[in-house]
Each structure stands twice: as C-alpha cells, then as structure tokens.
Structure 1
Amino acid sequence: MKQGILSEILDYSNRANPYPLYEELRKTPVFHDGDGPYVISTYYDIQSLLHDPRLSSDSRNLAATAGDPLAEGGSEEASALPPSFLKLDPPEHDRLRRMTNRPFGPPHAPRRVDAMRGFLRDTVTGLIDNLGDPTRIDLVEQFAYPFPVTMICRLLGVPREDEARFHVWADTLAASLDPDPGSDPVEREKTTHDARMELGMYLAGLIEERRKAPGDDMLSQLAVGHGQNGTMSTMELLSTSALLLIAGHETTVNLIANGMLTLLRNPDVLKQLRKDPGLVVPLVEELLRFEPPVQLLPQRTPLVDIEVRGVTIPKGSSMWLVLASGNRDPNRFENPDCFDPHRKDVQHLGLGSGIHSCFGAPLARLEAQLALSELARRLEKPRLVEDPPPYRQNAVLRGPRHLPITCDGIRS
C-alpha cells in the first residue's frame, strides 16, 4: 500500500467519494506507515476495539503525536473548557454520562425524546413550507442545518433568537477536527480557542440563569438536578453543554444531507419511500451504514501494548478506527457498496458502539426519519443540480456543505 493513503483520505479532492480509498485500506487491516497512527479499517476489528477497555479516548494518554495528521486539531487543552465525557475514560466518563442521561432518557426521563415528536413534525412542516422557489433549493442551508439546530436548542433550553450564533461556533469547532493544509496553524488554533471561549462564556451565562429560574428544559435539570452521582460542577456542566450543542446537531445535519443525496441518487428507493413511509425506519439504519455522518474516530490510544491481527500496537500510540470502512467491509456485509433499505442484518457502526456509542442516537434517528419521509412525500420530482455537490472540508464529520436541488413543486 502506498504510504500516502492517509493523506489521500484527508485530501479534499477525495471527499466526495472516499470509499475506494477505504477499500484499498482494508487490504492492510492494521495499517501503519512507521510514523503516523495505526489505522484499523475492518468491521470485526473495529467492533472489538470499541468494546475493549484497554483502549483510551483520553488524549492525555497519547504518548506522541508527531506523525498523526489529526493530532493537532481540536485540542481542548487550548481552551478553558475541560474535556467532555466523550474524551474521557471510566470512571469519569461513566459518571458524567449517567448524569447527562438522567434528564434525557430512560429510566428517569423515558418520554423526553418521544414528547418532542409533535414539535419535530411542526418544525419539519414549517421548514418545507418556507423553502421558497422550488427550482432553487439548498437542502443543507434551508433544511438539514436549521432543523437539528432548532431541536437541540429546544431540548437544552437555548433561546430561539440565539440559535444563529451557534452556526459560526459549530462550524469553527467542527473544522478543528481536521487539518487544513492551506491554513496557518497558529491562526487556526487561535480561531478555535476563541470559538470555545465565546461558547463557554455564553453557556456560563445561560447556566446561571437556569440555576436562578429553572425550567423543564434539559440544561435546567442538569444545572439543578441531584442524583446518586451528585451534581455536575460548573466546568463539567459547561463542557457537557458544549458537547451536546455541537455534537447534537453536527452529525444530524450530515445524516439528513447524506440521506437526501443518497435518495436522489437512488430514485427507485425514493419512490418506494413516498409510497410506504414506514420504510423510513430501516432506510435510516441502512443509511447509517452506507453513508455514516462520522467517518472515523481518531486519537484512540492503547493503555497497554495490544495485539490486533498479529500486529503489536504499543502503549500510548495513536489509533484511528475508520467506521465508514468497517461499514463497507465485504466480510461483514453482502454487496456492501449497494444501498439497500431492505437489508436484513444492519448492525452498522454508524453510531459507534460500546461505552462511547452516540449519546443522542434516539433523537438523531427520529429527526432523520421524520425529515426524510416528509421530504420524500412533499417534494415533487426532486433532482440534483450537481453531483457530487460541494462537500465540507471535514473528513471526520463528512457531508455536503450545500445540496442544491430543483423540483417541480412542493405538495401541501
């Protein structure tokens, strides 16, 4: 395998279709070029490692980052915010995740997500009603972005008038996950730091307001709630809130945009969905396999020397788990490059697995199901304006930056 395959995966020119590169990568299931990260690309190895307690998500356990092209991006040490529970290991991870889950899902809040169904439907309806000229629609700007942003802000209790402020912060912090070869690393780090600080200061003020006058939103309950794990410190609450706000919509934007792009490329499936809205449930699961919004998990670190496929990966090494490659592994999925919503066995890696599986998975699934079924029902003969569409720079959180389409009309 050529040494530069990781650079090719990160190269923007391959963003529209990285899957041939993943196919090449799987020929060497544990890839290491002698300097960079150890890259794991096959389904069963990734699945096993996601459940392996010897693998750390805490970057403080990383021995060296010189050869890892993703190691320099998105360092939380550069900000006043401590690492979120996504970047911690047990027992700290488990304590914070349990506390965050208390106002979000079972057993303490079993109806939190389902109770939002009516608001979700109304928001989808309103966004489609206001798409404007049916011959000039950008489904990312006009739908896929504002829908999940509205949802996560409603869930946490962020005032509607402040939602627009998160667009800049979210784009900046999501972009920090990827290196940009053409950017000044010092300026880039400063931009990321400033965005984290601005978001942190905003959230600090919001948390103080909720402590004085709590509502029924999730942020209020996190701020004043008490359980067997106690109450979060202010810094833990800031870090957790920032995680939920950014991760709570970034991945869903990609899921919806990738979903509509895939449907428009598969008009027979789009026609099936229009006739049978119930198809959307297995369709979203297949979509999470076929075009996962999170392509890879960088900066996993062995706490001890571990062996994978006969290769010893030293303690403290950087590892990448390429979820999107595992999802297309022919040793796990028959005809993996075919999008088939009728596929019978879709145990995908699209929402991760193990203790770090996607926290917001129930909400993300519901959002995607409602969004795609309604778009399929209401858009008359939708067609892509350009294929591939322009993609975001990000190779980790991969999805279209714009999705221009045209259609013959919008049904009521």
Structure 2
Amino acid sequence: MTDQAVPAADLYTDEFAVDPYPAFAKMRTDSPVCPVTSPRFDSFLITRFDDAKAALTDPRLSKDLYGPGQHFLRIFGPNSEGLNKNMLNSDPPEHSRLRQITSRAFAPRRLEALRPRVAQIVAELVDRIVPRGEADLMRDFAIPLPMMVIGELLGIPTRDRERVLDWTQVIRESGSSGRPPAVEKAAVQEAQAWLHGYLTDLVTAKRAEPGDDMVSMLIAACDEEGVLSERELVSTTFLLLFAGHQTTADFMGNAMVALLTNPDQLDLLRKTPELLPHAIEELLRFDGPLPVASPRIATEDLEYQGVRIPEGSIVGVVINSANHDPEHFEDPDRLDLRRDRGPHLGFGHGVHYCLGVSLARMEAQLGIGALLRRLPGLRLAKPAEELRRLPAASPFRGLIELPVRFSA
C-alpha cells in the first residue's frame, strides 16, 4: 500500500475513459485510499466496498461545500454557487429540510400517475427511429427521454426544452470538444449563467401562474410556508433538472452498450423480459453513470485503511470501484442479469441516497424494454472501444454517441 499521491493525468487517460475497471482493481489492491493530485484540487479516492459504504454515512465527511473554506471555489469555480446551493451540497439539518420539501415531488402516487406519459414519450421516440434502420441512441433516445420527462415534471414549457437541453449538454460534454481549455471554461460559465437566468425567469413565471408541477410546488414552499429561500428555490430547480436527466441518460447508454457487448445476456433479456427490473440493478452495478459520488470534505483529520486524510481534504467515494469489489460480488467484472441482487451503491447510501430512484428505474425499464422489443437485430455500428465518450476526468461516465443498426 502506498500513500504517495497519483497525478490525475496518470489515472484519467483515454484508456481509462473506455474501461476504468482495471485501474479500479489495481487501486483496490495497491492503494484502496488513493491520494490524487490535479491542477484544480487534490483529493483522496476511496475504492473498496466496505470503506465506500462507511464513508457515505461518515458524519466527519461533510457535503456542505459552501461553509467555512468555500470549497466550492476549488471544485466548481466561482460561478457555481447560484446553481449548487442545494440539498446535494448540504448536511443535516439543512439537508433534511431541503430533502423533505423536494421529496413531495417524488411521492409514489405522483410518479405512478406519470407512468402512462413516460410510456407515451418512449413510444414516440422509438416511432421516429424504427423506419430508419439506424440511430444514435444517445442523441435520438437516451438524452431526450429523461429531459422530456423532467421537463414535464418541472413545468418547463415545451417550446423551451430543446434550448434547455442544449445548454445542459454544454456542461455535460465539457472537456470533450477539443477546444482550448480557456474556451471550454468560458462556454461552461456561459451555460451556467444562461441556465441560472432561465430558471430564475421560470420561477417568476410560475409564481404569476402556478400549475401542477414541481416548480410551483417549490414556490409554495418558499412563499407560503417560508421553508425555502429564493436562492435555494432556483438551485433546487437546477438540481432536479440536471440530476433528473443527466444520470438517467448516461445510465441507459451504458446499459445498452453492456447488453450489446454481452450477447448472451441480451438474448436472455429478450427471451425473459420479466427479468428487466432485476436486470436494471445489475446493469447499474456493472457500469453506473456516476463513477465517483459528489465530493465530500473532511471536517477533521481521519483515517481509512491506515491512510491519514487531513482536515479540509476533498474525498471522493468511487462507487463504480466499490460495485466491482470481489469481496462483495462474485466475478464482479462479468455481467450477470440473474445475479443475486446485492447491496450495490449505484444509487448511493445513507441520507443522500438518490431521491429520484423510482423515476430513474421507471424510465430505464420502459426505455430499455421498448428498444429491445421494437428494434430487432439491434447491434453496435462501431466497436465499443471506438465510441466517443465523456472525458475520463468528467464526474459522469457516459457516451457522447451510440450509433446502432437494426432491422427496419
């Protein structure tokens, strides 16, 4: 075991973007708590399942990036506060208050009532694909589906959704355009500013004419109940918008690649579609869209696996490594849709467990089920290792493209 810091450039390579799991395996063995250094900030990566699960509930690891130390400046930059001051970046009791308010929008009855509409959106998107015999499943399906769903939940007017999607994709795909870093940074800042302005205007419009949507519900919590500030209102709306489509889109892309490169499992799922809910959990364990949980800050000196983590350090819990830990999952690098459902960490753990888990599962089940049912002979149009992906240093693991062919 070593506590020598690993340069991020040595870890986050092009090869890592294609397949990070060999690197994760080496880290679990050689440096399960791995110091990583980069130009923007240094951090410690926790890679084993038991340590990861413990860290996700460790009260010494704070999610409050906006308290003393202003850690958000190191992580997200100076223009981020207006969009990131929300429950994702807070601790109890603030987190408990914000989550309780937001959880109303994800009540089981509300989400189940949405199922027919999600199924309709899925059908409409697939209808456009079917006659062509080929498609880019990211551009044509995986990205627009969750955006259309979260757009309806938030109450974003239909005419605005394409523009909102475009700006969110600027943030999602940052670092992959090949433009100079300064140009890329300026584009992201412009996107953040536009989205902050748009969501502020949306709140104003909904305050004047409320509807049966999440934003109107949050406004009521702000204006009538006084339990949400104006800044929290806008930031929470951004969190729901971005988290509501980003990870689901990336997950569906990753899941389809996993199935298409494991034809025995694809055939199994086609023959036994009732296995789909179980398969979604295994696909999430196998290649999740959020490799590292959102950052935490050590509020005191602490130790994991004999490695000292000084107070003020940024700590990343490597969920995708933990989900491939052979101490918890037999033959973890093999996709097995019949695997006994284990306690994977794909949706997190503890008080920050994914709030939108039921919606994500619904969209994935309806979406992937429709693709397998309606696109016979579905196959990749290029080798999996040649697919354009988000950069290895991105907080998300996902595809920029997913070209496929099938029998029209």
The alpha carbon displacement at 1:393 in A equals 2.2
Letter in 2 for 1:164: E
SS in 2 for 1:342: coil
After the TM superposition, which residues 323-402 of structure 1 pair with which residues of structure 2 at under 5 Å, given as runs?
A: 323-388=319-384, 389-393=387-391, 395-402=394-401
TM-score, with structure 2 as normaliser: 0.90
Residue 255 of structure 1: aligned partner: 251
Q: Deviations over 1:342-366 (max 9, x none)?
A: 1113211111111112121110011
SS in 1 for 2:295: strand
Distance change in 2, residues 1:34/1:284 (3 Å): closer
Residue 89 of structure 1: aligned partner: 91
Letter in 2 for 1:52: D
The alpha carbon displacement at 1:276 in A equals 2.0
Question: Is 1:403 aligned to residue 402 of structure 2?
Answer: yes
Residue 35 of structure 2: aligned partner: 32
SS in 1 for 2:151: helix
The alpha carbon displacement at 1:267 in A equals 1.7
Q: Distance in 2 between matches of 1:279 and 1:76?
A: 46
Contact 1:214 1:224 survives alignment (8 Å)? no
Residue 104 of structure 2: aligned partner: 102
Distance change in 2, residues 1:399/1:226 (3 Å): closer
Q: Distance in 1 between matches of 2:17 and 2:375?
A: 27
Q: Which runs of 4+ in 1 moved over 6 A?
A: 179-182, 226-229
Q: 2:239 aligns with which of 223, 240, 243?
A: 243
Distance change in 2, residues 1:313/1:79 (3 Å): closer
The runs of 5 or more residues in structure 1 that have no matched partner are none
Q: Distance in 1 between matches of 2:209 and 2:164?
A: 23
Q: Distance in 1 between matches of 2:124 and 2:316?
A: 40
Residue 289 of structure 1: aligned partner: 285
Residue 53 of structure 1: aligned partner: 59
The alpha carbon displacement at 1:143 in A equals 0.6
Deviates more, 1:299-308 or 1:247-256: 299-308
Letter in 1 for 2:92: P
Q: Deviations over 1:104-134 (max 9, x none)?
A: 22xxxx3111111101111111111101554
Aligned-residue Cα RMSD (Å) equals: 2.6
The alpha carbon displacement at 1:94 in A equals 1.4
Residue 308 of structure 1: aligned partner: 304
Distance change in 2, residues 1:317/1:3 (3 Å): closer
After the TM superposition, which residues 137-286 of structure 1 pair with which residues of structure 2 at under 5 Å, given as runs?
A: 137-175=135-173, 184=180, 186-225=182-221, 230-286=226-282
Identity of aligned residues (%): 36
Distance change in 2, residues 1:256/1:320 (3 Å): same
Distance change in 2, residues 1:205/1:115 (3 Å): same
Q: Distance in 1 between matches of 2:246 and 2:177?
A: 22
The runs of 5 or more residues in structure 2 that have no matched partner are none
Contact 1:138 1:404 survives alignment (8 Å)? yes
Distance change in 2, residues 1:366/1:267 (3 Å): same
Distance change in 2, residues 1:8/1:278 (3 Å): farther
Structure that is richer in helix per residue: 2
SS in 2 for 1:15: helix
